[in-house]
Amino acid sequence: MAAPATDTARNAPSREILEKIFRTAYKIRVFETEGIKLYRQGLIRGYFHPYLGQEGIATGVCTALEEGDYISSTHRGHGHCIAWGADVKKMVAELLQKDTGYCKGYGGSMHIADIKSGNLGANGIVGAGTPLGVGAALAEQVKGSDSVTVTFTTDGGSNNGTFLESLNLAAIWNLNFILVIENNGYAVSTTIEESTRDTDLYKRGLAIGVESHQVDGNNPLAVYELTLAAAKTCRAGKGPVLIEAKTFRHMGHHVNDPGKYMPEDKLAYYKARDPVDRARADLVEMAGVPAGLIAQIEAEVAAEFEDAVAFSQASGEITAAQFAAFAADY
């Protein structure tokens, strides 16, 4: 039942882990940056909530999870999918409404899911992913498995009633459940200070007897290590665990929101503590990898995205006949 996590001495992470963290964070960065360009060209329609600036959280959390675990995500969910190991091809195809997308074009940006891999899906209703995640953790407990479910929610989502209801259920049933609050300071454009009296959201877990921590969300390695420990706690039957990860968006709520309400000095502060830069620096400094390798990873990631766009553009869309059959059976 600890307060803000301190940097406890641990074994230095392996180069493999550091490389995975950098590659993942960078992949999210490229996906969002290039995705916005596709949006501007009219290739992506509808809503698009970029994860820019928050990459460290999904990256750190998902790197600490294992096969058989589950995640459920938010409306700002691209980063969680990618960190979970999603196929960028199928993600881009979904955003381009193609039948080769994760949801065959039925879902779109806010509804990407991949049940088979344990990704229970993004969610267009803020806060709704939390009970769903607790439900998955409950299912796993009934099945007798020791898998862990992580739900990503937001500071906005933490003010929804289901936050208490479902975290409390996880608590009374000791579920293997980790609730990660990505506290980026804004619910759309409303600040956390306007939304709640005590902006340290991890305390809400403490209030109902849930082990709770606060972590710098822009430090992917710290998030990774905290999640590793939380998962261990859960698998020991002492879940759930709440993690509040502090972060800040690099732009407005969605792709057409300029975010004018975000103070420039605060934005500059967080951009100077960019999670992708941090992951790159960790890889260089802690694992001693040469600049050439960094460049190679970045080139590979960029090429993967370009391939995904080409794949998507060559893909078709659900036909009228397919849709008719689907609708008739619904």
Positions touching other proteins (CB under 8 A) are 37, 39-43, 45-47, 70, 72, 97, 99, 101-107, 111, 113-116, 120-121, 123-125, 128, 130-136, 138-143, 149, 161-162, 164-166, 168-169, 172-173, 256-258, 260, 317-324, 326-327, 330
Of the pair 139, 293, the CB lying nearest other proteins is at: 139
Tell me how far, at minimum, the Cβ of 153 lies from other proteins, in Å: 12
CA angle 57, 203, 74 (to 5 degrees): 35
Tell me how far, at minimum, the Cβ of 324 lies from other proteins, in Å: 4
- What angle do helix axes 275-287 and 291-313 make, rounded to 10 degrees? 140
How far apart, in whole angstroms, are the C-alpha atoms of residue 96 and residue 125?
Answer: 22
How far apart, in whole angstroms, are the C-alpha atoms of residue 166 and residue 160?
Answer: 11
Instruction: Print burial letters for 272-283: b (CB count within 10 Å at least 16), e (below 16).
Output: ebbbbbbbbebb
How far, CA to CA in Å, does 139 sit from each of 133, 134, 136, 277?
Answer: 10, 9, 5, 38
- Provide the pairing of β-strand 190-191 with 186-187: antiparallel
Tell me how far, at minimum, the Cβ of 171 lies from other proteins, in Å: 10
Of the pair 4, 68, the CB lying nearest other proteins is at: 68
CA angle 251, 291, 78 (to 5 degrees): 30
Tell me how far, at minimum, the Cβ of 219 lies from other proteins, in Å: 30
How far apart, in whole angstroms, are the C-alpha atoms of residue 184 and residue 192?
Answer: 8
**Residue 306: which H helix or E strand, with range?**
helix 291-313
Q: Which residues pair with 154 in a beta bridge?
A: 182
Six-digit token pair at 329? 């059976």
Tell me how far, at minimum, the Cβ of 66 lies from other proteins, in Å: 16
Tell me how far, at minimum, the Cβ of 272 lies from other proteins, in Å: 22
- Cβ of 201: how many Cβ atoms within 10 Å? 24
Tell me how far, at minimum, the Cβ of 123 lies from other proteins, in Å: 8
Of the pair 229, 255, the CB lying nearest other proteins is at: 255
Of the pair 5, 187, the CB lying nearest other proteins is at: 187
Would the CA dihedral through 155, 156, 157, 158 be positive or negative?
positive
Tell me how far, at minimum, the Cβ of 136 lies from other proteins, in Å: 4
Tell me how far, at minimum, the Cβ of 134 lies from other proteins, in Å: 5
Of the pair 79, 107, the CB lying nearest other proteins is at: 107
Of the pair 281, 303, the CB lying nearest other proteins is at: 303
Of the pair 133, 239, the CB lying nearest other proteins is at: 133
By CB atoms closer than 10 A (0-12, 13-18, 19+), residue 124 is middle
Of the pair 161, 288, the CB lying nearest other proteins is at: 161
Of the pair 53, 135, the CB lying nearest other proteins is at: 135
* Contact (CB, 8 A) for 315 and 100: yes
